[in-house]
Structure 1
Amino acid sequence: GLPESLVQREQQRILQSIIRDNMARSYFEDSGAWAGRCVVLGAGNVSSIGLQDVLNKVFCENYKCVLKLNPVNDYLGEIYEQAFRVLIDAEVLEIVHGGAEVGARLVRDVATTAVHITGSSRVHDAIVHGDPPLDKPITSELGCVTPIMIVPGKWSQRQLRYQAVNVASMLVNNASFNCNAAKVLVTAKHWPQRKEFLDALRHVLAKTETRFAYYPGAEQRHADFCVAYPDAVVSSDCVPQGHLPWVLASGLDVNVVAQLAFNEEAWCGVLAEVPLAVETPADFLSSAPEFCNQHLFGNLSCGIIIDAATRRSVSDAYEHAIDQLRYGAVAVNAWPAVVYALGVTPWGAYPENTLGAISSGLGFVHNTRMFDGIEKCVLEAPFRSMIYPPWMVDHQRPLAVAKAFTWLEAYRY
């Protein structure tokens, strides 16, 4: 046979050719004309979403854009206009304000040739299947019951504490108004450290200040989950007006697949835990993806937490689990939001959805490398980061870090 080095070089050449032929094709195949006008219906929870959606539509898909701001963060309009003045002056971008009525008029306008929405599946379906039905293409990012799979291993006390803070941070950031907030912890029922880990997580949540529940409808959604899981409230003492206590509902029955936590994105500070009746890490890595794929709403992003020793011991099962997970983003030992935040990693639902069964949406944004045919993005991180992540709830100087990052991005060139 051929020498191994020659085979590897040939495989690399073929891979490079495939990638080259499936990148930025619109720049090489089109005549240079704009694809049309896309109405981007902005999200109300994270300030960067609307702008990044616009960037993808303009530079990756050749659309001129109208960005309709969400009333929840309408105050961002002036900042957006300053940041994107070049595109606005070139008549590539227009920023408009208003509620649902304004959005509906823009979507139905004859000059609009495409739509992109970040929001809920209910709003998406109202647009697509309304009267009259939508007659133009739409892409979307619609949220998810985000699972975090805890692969059983032998952890030190320091590692237990770190991962408890890690998971808590995935829940409480932005008052849990994130489409990638941790919503279901999938654990191994017979993991010897399961109770210890859950106790550590409850302790972190109990010590973490509650957040102002600024998003409309949060109080009712929170109340619905508290009714469904009445013994799950972690922090209820001296909660300020307008805040909501953290909720951790543990020990959910894996066989009751119709329950609220599996089928409804809480969109508030609620986390559920479901233990799978497995004995080994390899069994867990086989069962957990199957459970998530089949029984949890959505296919946007998920997370796996696994220590290095366990990963080495079950490397084949680990790789198989990554392959089997039907999510657009898989984050290992990191909050799935990191895939969103990097900006160079594609962000979107696993490509199996349809307009009739939309789940977490259609299409990818943040496609900075301009890839075609994206299935998923996999981000792998160390079990314990050498640099303490600034989004951790007990980080001592997150504002200073954020300011330093902003300065770096603004002036490094």
Structure 2
Amino acid sequence: MIELPGSGQGFLDTSVATVNRNFLGTLGANVIAEPSVIKKLGAGFRNAMARLEYGTIAINSWTGLGFLTATAFWGAFPGHTIDNVQSGIGVVHNALLIDSAERTVVTGPFRPFPRSFAHGEFALFPKPPWFVTARSAQKAGALLAAFAAKPSWAKMPGIFISAFRA
């Protein structure tokens, strides 16, 4: 565990500098922040995310969504060498063939439906299976893993039914 000083923008800037300098790997980073805090920090929040050296940044979401989106760039933050590979060299997906992509940023709701609606946020309905409180997360995860191992359109209804029970 690590404890960092500061609050607001100072805390965010310290956090970004710390993970860029001290953490191993640069494949993905999750950032959890209340929408009101993101709005209050404004450009400072966006600039901090731009300084975060990770291939996929998930703001109130799951980095796996970056992987699941075939058009998005997926890979470690650029700059690793064969002597210091960390999270890898190169990318996969990037179906739009964007040259010299650095990262993918995905965002999601801070609160699941229906609480998100009460706070003016857009949220998926039903609750996404990767939410900690999703009742069907284990079943949906097992079905997704089975689909990944042996894809079949026949498996899709079971995946969707499980996800909708979250």
Aligned to 1:19: none
Change in CA separation of 1:380 and 1:395 when aligned onto 2, cut-off 3 Å? closer
Task: Find the counterpart in structure 2 of residue 249 from structure 1.
Answer: none
Query: Of the candidates 85, 96, 102, which is equivalent to residue 358 of structure 1?
Result: 85
Distance 1:370 1:314, change over 3 A: same
Q: Which has the larger radius of gyration?
A: 1
Which of 144, 152, 156 matches 1:406? 156
Asked if 1:313 corresponds to 2:40, the answer is yes
- The normalised TM-score by structure 1 is 0.31
2:129 to 381, 390, 398: 390
Q: Which amino acid aligns with 1:332?
A: I
Check conservation: 2:78, 2:89, Cα contact below 8 A: yes
C-alpha distance in 1 between matches for 2:26 and 2:38: 24
Q: Distance in 2 between matches of 1:400 and 1:362?
A: 31
| Deviations 1:11-30 (CA, angstroms, capped at 9, x unpaired) | xxxxxxxxxxxxxxxxxxxx
Could you tell me which runs of 5 or more consecutive residues in structure 2 were left unpaired when the two chains were aligned: 113-122, 145-153, 160-166
SS at 1:330's partner residue?
strand
Q: Note the C-alpha offset of 1:395.
A: 2.2
Paired residue secondary structure (2:58): strand
| In 1, Cα distance between equivalents of 2:13 and 2:66 | 24
Give the percent of matched residue pairs that are identical in Structure 1 and Structure 2: 27
The residue number in structure 2 matching 1:10 is none
3-state secondary structure, aligned to 1:347: strand
Residue aligned with 1:298, SS:
coil
Q: How far apart are the structure 2 equivalents of 1:366 and 1:382?
A: 25
Matches of 1:277 and 1:292 in 2, distance apart? 14
- 1:131-168 deviations in whole A, cap 9, x for unaligned? xxxxxxxxxxxxxxxxxxxxxxxxxxxxxxxxxxxxxx
User: How do 1:15-34 residues align onto structure 2 when only pairs under 5 Å count?
Assistant: none
> How far apart in 1 are the matches of 2:156 and 2:51?
37
| Amino acid in the other structure paired with 1:277 | P
Query: Which ranges of 4 or more aligned residues in structure 1 deviate by more than 3 Å?
Result: 397-405
How big is the shift at 1:397?
Answer: 3.4
For the residues of structure 2 that align with 1:316 and 1:326, how far apart are their CA atoms? 18
Q: CA 1:350/1:396 → structure 2, altered by over 3 Å: closer, same or farther?
A: same
Distance (Å, rounded) in 1 between the aligned partners of 2:44 and 2:109: 18
Tell me the alpha carbon deviations over residues 257-308 of structure 1, each in whole angstroms, 9 at most, x when there is no partner.
Answer: xxxxxxxxxxxxxxxxx22011x21111211110000000011110111111
| TM-score under structure 2 length normalisation | 0.72
**Offset at residue 317 of structure 1 (A):** 1.4
Task: Judge conservation of contact 2:129–2:140 (CA < 8 Å) in 1.
Answer: no
Please state how far the C-alpha of 1:407 moved relative to its aligned partner.
3.7
Give the CA deviation at 1:389.
1.2
Give yes or no for the alignment of 1:276 onto 2:1: no
Please list, as runs of the form range in 1=range in 2, the aligned pairs for 1:156-195 lying within 5 A after superposition.
none
Distance between the aligned counterparts of 2:23 and 2:106, measured in 1? 21
Cα displacement (A) at 1:408: 9.8
Superposition RMSD in Å: 2.5
Q: Which ranges of structure 1 fall in alignment gaps of 5 or more residues?
A: 1-251, 253-273
Which amino acid is the alignment partner of residue 372 of structure 1?
Answer: D
User: Which of 57, 74, 91 lines up with 1:330 in the alignment?
Assistant: 57
Cα shift at 1:373:
0.9
**Distance between the aligned counterparts of 1:320 and 1:376, measured in 2?**
14
> What are the residue-to-residue correspondences of 1:80-91 with 2, within 5 Å?
none
Work out which of the residue numbers 275, 282, 285 in structure 1 matches 2:12.
Answer: 285
Q: Residue 3 of structure 2 aligns to a residue in which SS?
A: strand
Pairing 1:14-413 to 2, within 5 Å after superposition: 252=1, 274-278=2-6, 280-385=7-112, 386=123, 387=125, 388-398=127-137, 399=139, 406-407=156-157
Matched residue SS, 1:351: coil
CA–CA distance in structure 1, aligned partners of residues 69 and 86 of structure 2: 24
* Equivalent residue number for residue 117 of structure 2: none
Distance 2:134 2:25 in 1: 30
Once residues 155 and 72 of structure 2 are traced to their aligned partners in structure 1, the CA distance between those partners, rounded to angstroms, is 19
